[in-house]
């Protein structure tokens, strides 16, 4: 049976160093020739990650703003998002399949559910770390609660918020490799399509790692650009 599958897959692998490919080895020339096979899965992976992060951030941000002025909500929200965080993603995919069917929606719902806790907790931590005297001075000068939030508290919480987003981004890229279970494609689909062929697994895996690193670096650059004050020290 396995042999049969291998047979089919080898036929799928066009060109390259035939013997290396036949051995399921790591074949650079094959990788170079076949890189374009990974373009669509990669773009799909990027799409899943960005959409999930954007939705996850929007929901977490809304929840954090609500809980920020109603502190008693922090504990229940943390608990609920905590449960979502610990649910195995694959289980969530299968649970959702009968409701939302195969496709992006199911994958994105699962990825969003997973990211909520990380982002929510970091926003709350960032807001909590704003020095009390800074808020007191702001209020004492006549900033309204809303002005205080948008002009003082959120800007000062940015380093923590963006740090949370970085963690959420790398974990989401990782989890999105399982999105094909929900029928949403991505690099994971390529990996599991031919998991015995080293060249394939390494290429798809490396792209996933690079993608995670790219998200991390981009958010870090944004973070540095928008928080110049965080690096300012006595000169």
Partner 1 sequence: MNRSEPAQEQGPSARPAAATLEFREATKIYPGQDDPAVDALSLTVPAGEICVLVGPSGCGKTTAMRMVNRMIDITSGDILLDGRSVRERRPAELRREIGYAIQQIGLFPHLTVADNIATVPRLLGWPKDRTRARVDQLLELVSLDPADTRDRYPAQLSGGQRQRVGVARALAADPPLMLMDEPFGAIDPINRERLQNEFLRLQKEIRKTVVFVTHDIDEAIKMGDRIAVLQRGGKLAQYAPPAELLMYPNGRFVEDFVGADRALKRLALQRVRDIDLWKAPLVRVGEPVADARRKVQDSDVPYPLLVDADGRPLGWLSERALTGERVTEDLRSKAEPAVELDDVLRDALSDLLANEAQYGPVLDARGAVAGVLSLEIIGHALQEPPEQVRSGADALAADG
Chain residues that interact with partner 1, rule: CB under 8 A = 131, 133-144, 147, 152, 155-156, 227-230, 232-235
Least separation in angstroms between residue 190's CB and partner 1 is 44
User: Which residue intervals of 35-182 are DSSP H helices?
Assistant: 39-69, 74-86, 89-100, 104-128, 132-140, 145-148, 154-175
Q: Compare residues 5 and 229 and give the one whose CB is closer to partner 1.
A: 229
How many Cβ atoms sit within 10 Å of the Cβ of residue 160?
A: 19
Nearest approach, Cβ of residue 173 and partner 1 (Å): 30
Query: Is 86 or 235 the residue whose CB approaches partner 1 more closely?
Result: 235
Cβ atoms of 22 and 12 closer than 8 Å:
no
Q: Is the dihedral of CA 41, 42, 44, 49 positive or negative?
A: positive
- The residue among 29 and 144 lying less far from partner 1, judged by its C-beta, is 144
Nearer to partner 1 by Cβ, of 147 and 171: the residue is 147
Q: How far is the CB of 165 from partner 1 (least distance, A)?
A: 18
CA–CA distance, 176 with 173 (Å, rounded to integer):
5
Of residues 32, 31, 60, 9, the one with CA closest to residue 165 = 60
* Residue 205 φ/ψ region, left for φ over 0, alpha for ψ in the -120 to 50 degree band, beta for the rest: alpha
Give the shortest CB-141-to-partner 1 separation in angstroms.
5
Smallest separation (angstroms) from partner 1 to the CB of 71 = 17
Nearer to partner 1, 79 or 144 (CB): 144
Residues 6+ apart with CB under 8 A from 202: 26, 31
């Amino acid at each position: 049976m396995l042999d049969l599958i291998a047979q089919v897959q080898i036929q799928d692998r066009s060109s390259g160093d035939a013997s290396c490919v036949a051995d399921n080895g790591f074949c650079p020339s094959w990788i170079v020739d076949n890189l374009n096979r990974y373009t669509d899965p990669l773009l799909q992976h990027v799409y899943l990650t960005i959409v999930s992060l954007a939705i996850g951030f929007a929901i977490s941000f809304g929840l954090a703003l609500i809980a920020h002025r109603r502190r008693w909500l922090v504990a229940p929200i943390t608990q609920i998002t905590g449960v979502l965080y610990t649910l195995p993603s694959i289980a969530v995919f299968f649970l959702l399949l009968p409701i939302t069917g195969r496709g992006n929606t199911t994958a994105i719902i699962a990825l969003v559910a997973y990211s909520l806790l990380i982002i929510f907790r970091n926003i709350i931590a960032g807001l909590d770390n704003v020095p009390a005297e800074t808020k007191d001075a702001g209020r004492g000068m006549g900033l309204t609660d809303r002005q205080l939030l948008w002009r003082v508290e959120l800007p000062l919480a940015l380093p923590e918020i963006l740090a949370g987003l970085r963690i959420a981004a790398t974990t989401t890229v990782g989890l999105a490799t399982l999105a094909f279970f929900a029928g949403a494609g991505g690099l994971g689909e390529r990996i599991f399509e031919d998991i015995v062929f080293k060249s394939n697994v390494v290429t798809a895996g490396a792209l996933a790692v690079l993608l995670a690193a790219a998200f991390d670096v981009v958010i870090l650059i944004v973070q540095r650009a928008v928080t110049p004050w965080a690096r300012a020290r006595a000169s």
